[in-house]
């Protein structure tokens, strides 16, 4: 089990390892009233990736907290849409970095208003100047170590929706809060999951959704010239709160915009 904290009643203890070391992970879930989009995928990823960090969580306990949270927070917002955030940490205490194996995890449950939706006509995106480093042991985990994304997000402004981060070899990996999906005449491609800092549940679901329709989908390293070139039929940003976001320009280069993917893979059809 975990120690449960409600964000509207206060924060975690001062010596929680989430603050001290980013020793934990989180999920942000798009809510419509008391139902969550891609809910089971979010909770399964949380249990699985917590396990990779050595933090044991019970899926059924998380469902029970979800039930309480959706009853507690839905109706508090002007909009039917809102965001539920679950933050799990290894708990409080330990001997410096070294955790105590008997430690009880902390679960902080918070709600937030729905962010502004991206325009259907597409968004403007640039390359980030902040390199992204991925530890193979932590690849894909939405951990609380997100300082690189924060530094990159400082490059955003009200007309720049997202920046795309690359590794030291120059391969495009992901946005600060989105995964990438490219459409070409050969089909769909996306950077390999093993190369990613955060491998999103929206990405997983969209890939499955496309494969289920018989579309060609490959995971392969992407370079800037794969997108800014004749081959590109569309670039999409994937985020489990905002859904499918088409890109209309990358670093000043216009890209073709096609709203079809957002219709095929409609996040709001995944409410549970």
Q: Which residues bind a second copy (CB under 8 A)?
A: 5, 7-8, 10-23, 26, 53-54, 87, 89-90, 95-99, 108, 110, 115, 130-138, 143-154, 156, 176-177
Confirm if 135 and 197 have CB atoms less than 8 A apart: no
Residue closer to a second copy (CB basis): 175 or 246:
175
Least distance in angstroms from the C-beta of 36 to a second copy: 18
Q: How far apart are CA 91 and CA 196, in angstroms?
A: 26
Confirm if 175 and 125 have CB atoms less than 8 A apart: yes
Least distance in angstroms from the C-beta of 260 to a second copy: 27
Eight-class DSSP state of 54:
T
Residue closer to a second copy (CB basis): 151 or 217:
151
Least distance in angstroms from the C-beta of 151 to a second copy: 6
Residue closer to a second copy (CB basis): 79 or 185:
79
Least distance in angstroms from the C-beta of 152 to a second copy: 8
Q: How far apart are CA 76 and CA 147, in angstroms?
A: 30
Residue closer to a second copy (CB basis): 108 or 247:
108
**Cα separation of the two ends of the chain:** 24
- Looking up tokens 């989009």 gives 37
Q: How far apart are CA 215 and CA 231, in angstroms?
A: 17
Q: Backbone phi, then psi, for 107, in 5-degree steps?
A: -125, 120
Least distance in angstroms from the C-beta of 106 to a second copy: 10
Residue closer to a second copy (CB basis): 98 or 230:
98
Least distance in angstroms from the C-beta of 147 to a second copy: 5
Which residues are within 8 A (CB) of 146 and not within 5 positions of it... i.e. 6 or more apart?
22
Residue closer to a second copy (CB basis): 153 or 193:
153
Structure tokens at 260: 């079809």
Residue closer to a second copy (CB basis): 117 or 218:
117
Residue closer to a second copy (CB basis): 163 or 232:
163
Least distance in angstroms from the C-beta of 32 to a second copy: 20
Eight-class DSSP state of 231:
T
Q: How far apart are CA 97 and CA 144, in angstroms?
A: 15
Q: How far apart are CA 208 and CA 16, in angstroms?
A: 37
Least distance in angstroms from the C-beta of 136 to a second copy: 7
148: enclosing H helix or E strand: helix 147-153
The C-alpha torsion from 176 through 177 and 182 to 188, rounded to 10°, is 140
């Amino acid at each position: 089990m975990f120690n449960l904290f409600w964000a509207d009643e206060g924060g975690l203890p001062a010596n929680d390892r989430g603050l001290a070391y980013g020793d934990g992970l989180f999920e942000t879930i798009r809510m419509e009233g008391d139902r969550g989009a891609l809910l089971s995928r979010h909770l399964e990823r949380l249990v699985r990736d917590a396990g990779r960090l050595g933090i044991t969580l019970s899926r059924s306990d998380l469902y029970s907290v979800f039930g309480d949270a959706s009853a507690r927070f839905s109706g508090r917002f002007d909009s039917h849409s809102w965001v539920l955030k679950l933050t799990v940490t290894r708990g409080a205490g330990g001997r410096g970095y070294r955790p105590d194996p008997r430690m009880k995890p902390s679960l902080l449950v918070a709600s937030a208003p729905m962010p502004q939706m991206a325009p259907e006509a597409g968004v403007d995106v640039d390359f980030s100047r902040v390199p992204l480093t991925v530890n193979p042991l932590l690849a894909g985990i939405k951990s609380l170590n997100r300082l690189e994304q924060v530094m990159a997000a400082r490059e955003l402004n009200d007309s720049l929706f997202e920046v795309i981060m690359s590794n030291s070899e120059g391969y495009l990996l992901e946005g600060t809060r989105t995964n990438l999906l490219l459409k070409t005449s050969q089909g769909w491609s996306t950077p390999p999951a093993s190369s990613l800092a955060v491998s999103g549940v929206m990405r997983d679901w969209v890939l499955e959704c496309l494969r289920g329709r018989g579309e060609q989908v490959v995971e392969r390293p992407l370079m800037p010239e794969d997108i800014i070139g004749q081959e590109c039929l569309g670039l999409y940003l994937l985020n489990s709160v905002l859904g499918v976001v088409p890109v209309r320009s990358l670093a000043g280069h216009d890209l073709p915009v096609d709203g079809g993917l957002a219709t095929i893979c409609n996040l709001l059809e995944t409410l549970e």
